[in-house]
Structure 1
Amino acid sequence: MAPRLFACFSRGSSSSERKTTADSATEEQRRAGPVVVELFSSQGCGTSTDAEDIATRLGLGEIVDVPVLVLAFHVDYWDYRGWKDPFGSSAWTVRQKAYVESMRLDTLYTPQIVVQGRDQCLGNEEGSIAAAVCAAPRFPSPTMQATFSKPSPMTLQVALSGPLRSKVDSAGANVMVALYQSGVVININKGENKGRLLANDYIVRRLEKLATVKDISMKKSVSGTITFTLWEGFNPVKCGLVIFIQNSSLHISGAQQLAIPDNL
């Protein structure tokens, strides 16, 4: 079956209403930024492979007609099945548990998709994912400027400064920065996916907090510096950064993607 592109339109209105709605939606999309989609996955999970493929296509804009930033968090709780996911982390399991608690779910599971920190669905159900992305609120992207440096061969330093373009109330929010890696291909020789060649994109390798902010206007500038510890084989061409604003309810209200210079 050919890939489908889901358009995000409202239904049940007259032609004039649809035109007005479409014009408003177009203007809103000019102001609004991307939707953050988090995939909780594992190379040791047999049902996560389809979800990884969907995540790749979602990030490439092949599923929905709104901009999406995908972040794939590989959890570690399936490692006991025989294949230890080299990208699995207990920190990502803790992050998933926080979503399970905030959404009052019964259990952890993979593959799971979380949209803007507010909604979730099964990670290999393309239609459900598309519907959740289309229904998600969108916010203006931060317009932060970045300066990159490598103080040492295994260290990446990023200085960031600029407005968040989202109002933050007295409850506060964290400005988070994820370093991800794409284009990973690996042979699996144990576990549920034994004998398969898996391709993974948008794998979160590092997640750091740039700042905690509260009571700020949309125009308020925020600045800070983050230092990432790198890994053997780090290739800036296959990596990128995602900045996102997340409050204590885990809701995301703005995100920005940054490329990493390939001449570092």
Structure 2
Amino acid sequence: MAPRLISCFGKSGRASKGGKNDVAATADEAAEEQRRGGDGPVLVELFLSQGCKVSPEAELLLSRLGRGDFNLGQPIIVLSFHVDYWDYMGWKDPYGSSQWTVRQKAYVESLQLDTMFTPQIVVQGGSQCVGNEENKLLSNIANAPRFPSPNFQATIKRPTPETLEVAFTGQIRMKIDNQGANIMVALYENGLITDCPKGENKGMVLSNDFVVRRLEKLCSLKDTSAKKNITGTINFALWEPFISHKCGMALFVQQNSSHHIFGSQKFDIPQDL
């Protein structure tokens, strides 16, 4: 099925010559990591909206991917970002956020696309496809550069009913050069069910998994060795109701210039929080 297009942001600007050189350097690093035999997960991000007719099909594909329904022979981390630019169509996505729209726009620009659309899947920050194109998605995953998984320990506490405190310590296991990168941590929720009485999915019961509810930066890195010990704490503001056994966390390293992913790691949330 064809993607839904949006032109409210206009055509994305083409990358400058410097930007293209950044991407080429990143590709060289990715090839080097593949030669080293990086065995970490591949990060798959879905941008969708409950106000988009095609998105539920992509959401089902992502849920199956996250459950391990495909025999891929490699670990996968999936995250689902609900954008807000379809809210005017008659149904406001309860998980939609302008923050996720901005994140998708950054990918549209780095991948040199002409427009934003849903559903869109981005793999390792470096390739993309329409979110319901199963064969293309699996091909992108198979061909994605793989990196060593970060080696972090997470101490998770709930100091107040409204806050989740997570202290991290560990190594990224990937050298970061002078282009710099951010360590990001996503808090996501599974098993979300929504009755949709309006909009293009009117009358449907929508099921969403791996829905990113919070995304925070642990720290920024530059000229950092792979073995450098990194510590930091994130305080997530929680929503109501927060059901810990339905949630999980994903940590990933993302380069600033190209937005490529240089490693990711998944964490379970204790059920007794």
- One-letter amino acid matched to 2:43: V
Corresponding position: 1:219 with 2:227 = yes
- One-letter amino acid matched to 1:132: N
Aligned partner of 1:205 in structure 2 is 213
Tell me the number of residue pairs that the alignment of Structure 1 and Structure 2 aligns.
237
Aligned partner of 2:18 in structure 1 is none
What does the per-residue CA deviation read over 1:70-110, in whole Å, with 9 as the maximum and x for residues that have no partner?
01000000001111000000000000000001111010000
Residues 139-218 of structure 1 aligned to structure 2 (within 5 Å): 139-218=147-226
Q: Could you state the TM-score of these two structures normalised by the residue count of structure 2?
A: 0.85
Shift of 1:42: 0.4
| Alpha-carbon distance between aligned partners in 2 of 1:99 and 1:171, rounded to the nearest angstrom | 17
Corresponding position: 1:254 with 2:263 = yes
Aligned partner of 2:51 in structure 1 is 44
| Alpha-carbon distance between aligned partners in 2 of 1:66 and 1:108, rounded to the nearest angstrom | 29
Q: Could you state the TM-score of these two structures normalised by the residue count of structure 1?
A: 0.88
| Alpha-carbon distance between aligned partners in 2 of 1:137 and 1:68, rounded to the nearest angstrom | 13
Aligned partner of 1:123 in structure 2 is 131
Shift of 1:214: 1.3
Residues 20-59 of structure 1 aligned to structure 2 (within 5 Å): 28=37, 31-59=38-66
Match of 1:94 among 95, 98, 102: 102
| % identical aligned pairs | 57
Residues 12-23 of structure 1 aligned to structure 2 (within 5 Å): none
Misfit runs of 4+, over 4 Å:
none
| Alpha-carbon distance between aligned partners in 1 of 2:58 and 2:74, rounded to the nearest angstrom | 19
Shift of 1:217: 1.5
Shift of 1:60: 1.4
What does the per-residue CA deviation read over 1:227-261, in whole Å, with 9 as the maximum and x for residues that have no partner?
00000011110101100000111000000000011
What does the per-residue CA deviation read over 1:89-148, in whole Å, with 9 as the maximum and x for residues that have no partner?
000000000000111101000000000000000000100000000000011111101111
Shift of 1:160: 0.3
| Alpha-carbon distance between aligned partners in 2 of 1:222 and 1:104, rounded to the nearest angstrom | 33
Shift of 1:152: 1.0
Shift of 1:67: 1.2
| Alpha-carbon distance between aligned partners in 1 of 2:46 and 2:190, rounded to the nearest angstrom | 14
Q: Say what the alpha-carbon RMSD is for the aligned residues.
A: 1.2
